[in-house]
Structure formats: C-alpha cells, structure tokens
Structure 1
C-alpha cells in the first residue's frame, strides 16, 4: 500500500516538473541578449552543475537505500552489522568531494566577481555612451547628457554600443535591473553608482526595479530598446526632441518627481545641463560627480562612501 502511494507521489512530481518545463515560461537570465548577461548565464550554469555533483548522487542513493534495505528484503538482513562505526573510504568520499567543489566554486566566484564588476568598462571598438538614471517614486527618469534630452520609463541605445548607466535615486534606495542584459545595481540618494552594459541583439527588453520598498515599487517597470543601428538611434533622438515637453529647471524636475503609479512613457526635448548633478546634490553629503571623482563608486566601495557621506553631513560639510 505504501509502495503504491510513493509511486503515486513520484508520478505526480514528474508530471508537475514536465508541465513547468513545457509551459512556455521564459527565464530571462537564461536567455541573455548582451555580453554581461552571457557571462552571468555561464556562471549560473557552471555553479548549478558543480552543485549537482553532490545533489544528484544523494537523491539517487535515497531511493537505492530505501529499496535495498526495506524490511521485506531478506537479502539485506544478511548484511546487518550492528557494531559497524567507521569507514575511511566513505569518510574520504563524503568530505573530499564537497571540499573540492567548494574550492572550485570559490575560485570561479572570486574571478567572476572581479571580471563582472559593474563599474568596469566593457572592451569594445565602439565609444561608450552615457545615460544618467534617476529612480523616482514610482518611475524611472533617463537623462541623455550628450543629446540633452530625457525620457520616463523608456530608454534606448544602439546595439553593440557599450552603455554607461550612472545611477542615483531621488528618494529611497532602489535597484536597476534589465534581466536580459545583465547585472543589477543599486541606485541610492546622494550617491552615483556605475553600471556598464551592452546589447548584442536589437529588441525591446523589460526593465524593473528589483527592490520592492513598499506600495508602488512593483509598478516601476520600463522598456529598454536596443536599436539596430546608430542611424535608428538618431531617429529615436529626433522623435524625443520633437516633444513639446521640457524640463527647464529643478522646480520642473520636482514636479515630475511626485509619486505616480503606472506613469506612461514621456519624452522631454530639453533638460538642464546639470540636472543629474543637482539631483545627487540635493541631500546633505551629496557628492559632485563631475568627471571621475569620489561621487562615482564601484559596487565594492558603496558602503564605505555611504558612511563617509553620513559623517560629512553630520559635521555640516558639503562637497561642491
């Protein structure tokens, strides 16, 4: 009776697994469209297969031992060894295999952590373009300093052209993430973090706020458009410049920054040259990020600089 129940449970589990695999669900992280995403996928797959070296044999042995040493198996009774306590061979296998796997994973993790550092520029023959990103409640503002335009909830760039995203937040800390292109990175008030990405295929890719900090943040979605060529990007820029909406000063920005759920895509044909810097500097301890100074920090430096900013704010100092 028990055996038939176990078989029933196993068959249901297999059916559920099959349905999930055939359901048509798209795993964005396993279907990357950019160089960084490809590297991350390889890292995920390598780590999973290494861990399965331990997991799969254990699962198989559970079924093997359950069957071999069941109470109704008279053959197993002959192997009964009540005084058995130690086996050097078993101990070596049980400890050596996980230790080796952990050592390999440690080396892979250390190397990939440095290689995939978000602030490290990507190698390319194309010149890197810069897009400034501000996390608002509850939408994303994208500023193009070279084109002097801005958009809400839509960002576009040519494929095969590396993009430097300079990230900050107007209010609470958030996380900028385009799953098909690669790494996510935090956007924080009074700070600037840098994220380098590139799209190797043209297409529309979903972007999200990976940190849900309360009501409204689950609606912080945007579209990242990788355009086929630089010419198509210039046409897109011209479309944005034809908009009658503008951000003339910081007061206009504060109006735009007011909380709004499911904000529609918006184009702004004009923005102040120093808008992004003003957003960063609006809080005590904010750092002027012009050039490559301390205001732009790598992922590993964020915590240290955040503490320094807090101390400076308490002492009443302000870096211009």
Structure 2
C-alpha cells in the first residue's frame, strides 16, 4: 500500500463522501423520480438522463481542455509558438458558437417534445376512469378528500395501482407545493385557486409525499405516505375507513385546520400517526367551501365532474 499524506487522505475522504451523497440521491424506494413508480416520473427520469448526456458534450471537453490549455500555454513553456498578432480564427469561432447552438436546438426539441406529455392538466392514457382526490393544504399537513368514497385522510394517501388519479388542489392557508417525487411532478396549491394534477402509480409501494414550499417553520414536517396498493387492497382500505366512526364535519375541520402537524392532533382524535388520521365521512362541499372562502366567484368552476380550462385564469404554474 502506498503511503498517503494527510492532505491526500483528507481529499480521498471528501471524494468518497461526495460519491456517497450522489448515490444516496437516487437510491431508496419511493423517494425519488430516479426510482419511478409511474409513467410521469419515468418520463422525467428519461429526460433527465438524456439532457445530462447531451450536456456532457460541452462539459467533458471543457473539464479536460481547461487544465490542458493552462499547462500548454503556461508562462514557463519553451516549445509553444508565440503569436502576439493572432486575433481571429473562423474554425475556432465556428466551434465555439456552433456546438452550443446545435446543443441548444437538440435540448429544446427534447424538452418541448416531453413537455406535452408532462402537462399536469392532461389526462393519462388508461382504460379506467380516473380517481378524483381533492387536496387541501393546511398548516402543516395535507388533507385528502375522496368525494366518490366520501372519506378523508391526513398523513396517508391511498392510491390504487394501475388507475389514474386526478388531483384537484387548493390551500386554506398560504401557498404550498405538492409533490410525490416517485410519481413525478410538483404543483402549487393556493388559496382561492384550484390546480390540477394527473398521476398514476404502476406498482405498489410506500412513496414519499411532501410540501416543498417553505411556508413556515413547520413545513419540513408536512410529509405524508402515498400508499400505492393493488386495487383489492385499496377497496379494503376504503371499506375499513367507511366503517369507522369519525366524521369530518365543520367542528372537526375547525380542529384539523389549526396550525400544527399531524402528531399534534393525536390528543384530540386518538389515532396512530403512523397510520394517518382517517375520517369515515366528509362534507361533500368542503373543497368548494374552502375555495369560496377566498374567491367566491371561482368555487363553482371546479366541481369534481368538470375539467378546468387553461384559459380561466386559475391555471397556476406547475413543474412536472
């Protein structure tokens, strides 16, 4: 074994740490689009690798040529040709400007082509009717309402594998950012507005869901488990939820909408935070009521049986 100086050992340790962080960024089930559990995240992953590969056309030569040029034309070099009057080269100009222009055109075609399939408002191709889920952002938790099943949950988001899910989102507080990385996408939820997001889970798993918008010192705990489960298990979960005796009425909503995290509700509702807070019934007008609280004229536009139009002024920015 060759002897290593303290400086060499220190740099070796730093490189190992950076390599570990790079590997950890993409590993782990259900926490990243690099391990996709749905077609949207799979498209994002493919686009990420394609863009990265094309960017290497510029990055790799730059990394290799910068130290070479610095060494080749160093002040102490005795074999380099000294050309003080040199000032222009068509071949060099074509290389410097031509390669980036071609690269930008290639990247633009890739992104534009994939952007259409990543439109959050576009329904995903499927022979099944989408499951509607209404999402209300609170401080610091997400409330999920299933209008078809008349149940609601906080902390867990059950999803049937193989069936598209149409999320409609709003906020009963400040702006928030809804994201399930393994399913792909990120979209904002804002008071008085309704955004839409279409996702699909193609295999079972417990997926990380979170708020990625800083909106207070409790936002880091605004996470939930998206439970992608086979249809039979999803139906069983819904049946058990309906069999409970915990309605989400106005008084219950007044409690859950107070500022605080999911664990803070344990004393009021007596539940296991690891399994989420489940409500056996819910006011069917809750979502529209929350929207109308901030913008009465927009509430009627976003019923579960309607598809929001991009031109109605309520299509908030989404990153997918």
Is 2:281 the counterpart of 1:270? Answer: yes
Residue 125 of structure 2 corresponds to 123
1:105-135: CA deviation from partner (whole Å, max 9, x where unpaired): 2222222222210010000122211111100
Q: Extract unaligned runs of 5+ from structure 2.
A: 264-272
Cα distance change of structure 1 residues 274 and 24 upon mapping to structure 2, 3 Å threshold:
closer
Contact 1:32/1:38 (CA < 8 Å) preserved in 2? yes
- CA shift, 1:158, in A, is 1.2
Residue 291 of structure 2 corresponds to 280
1:187 corresponds, among 178, 186, 189, to 189
Cα distance change of structure 1 residues 153 and 291 upon mapping to structure 2, 3 Å threshold:
closer
Q: Extract unaligned runs of 5+ from structure 1.
A: 308-320
Residue 92 of structure 2 corresponds to 90
Q: How does 1:18-37 map to 2 (within 5 A)?
A: 18-21=19-22, 26=27, 28-37=32-41
1:250-281: CA deviation from partner (whole Å, max 9, x where unpaired): 34322221111243320000111222111111
- CA shift, 1:287, in A, is 2.4
Cα distance change of structure 1 residues 291 and 132 upon mapping to structure 2, 3 Å threshold:
closer
Contact 1:192/1:297 (CA < 8 Å) preserved in 2? no
Question: What is the alpha-carbon distance in structure 1 between the residues aligned to residue 11 and residue 61 of structure 2?
Answer: 17
2:56 corresponds, among 52, 72, 92, to 52
Aligned-partner SS, 1:31: coil
Question: What is the alpha-carbon distance in structure 1 between the residues aligned to residue 211 and residue 293 of structure 2?
Answer: 22
Is 2:108 the counterpart of 1:106? Answer: yes
Aligned-partner SS, 2:79: helix
Q: How does 1:231-242 map to 2 (within 5 A)?
A: 231-242=232-243
Cα distance change of structure 1 residues 85 and 19 upon mapping to structure 2, 3 Å threshold:
same
1:232-259: CA deviation from partner (whole Å, max 9, x where unpaired): 11111122123221113x3432222111
Question: What is the alpha-carbon distance in structure 1 between the residues aligned to residue 203 and residue 173 of structure 2?
Answer: 33
Contact 1:37/1:181 (CA < 8 Å) preserved in 2? yes
Residue 136 of structure 2 corresponds to 134
TM-score normalised per structure 2: 0.84
Cα distance change of structure 1 residues 58 and 114 upon mapping to structure 2, 3 Å threshold:
same
Residue 268 of structure 2 corresponds to none
Q: How does 1:34-45 map to 2 (within 5 A)?
A: 34-45=38-49
Question: What is the alpha-carbon distance in structure 1 between the residues aligned to residue 37 and residue 226 of structure 2?
Answer: 12
Question: What is the alpha-carbon distance in structure 1 between the residues aligned to residue 224 and residue 17 of structure 2?
Answer: 33
* Aligned-residue RMSD, C-alpha: 2.7
Aligned-partner SS, 2:299: coil
TM-score normalised per structure 1: 0.84
Question: What is the alpha-carbon distance in structure 1 between the residues aligned to residue 282 and residue 246 of structure 2?
Answer: 10
1:132-183: CA deviation from partner (whole Å, max 9, x where unpaired): 1100111110001111100011110111111001111111111110000011
Is 2:257 the counterpart of 1:257? Answer: yes
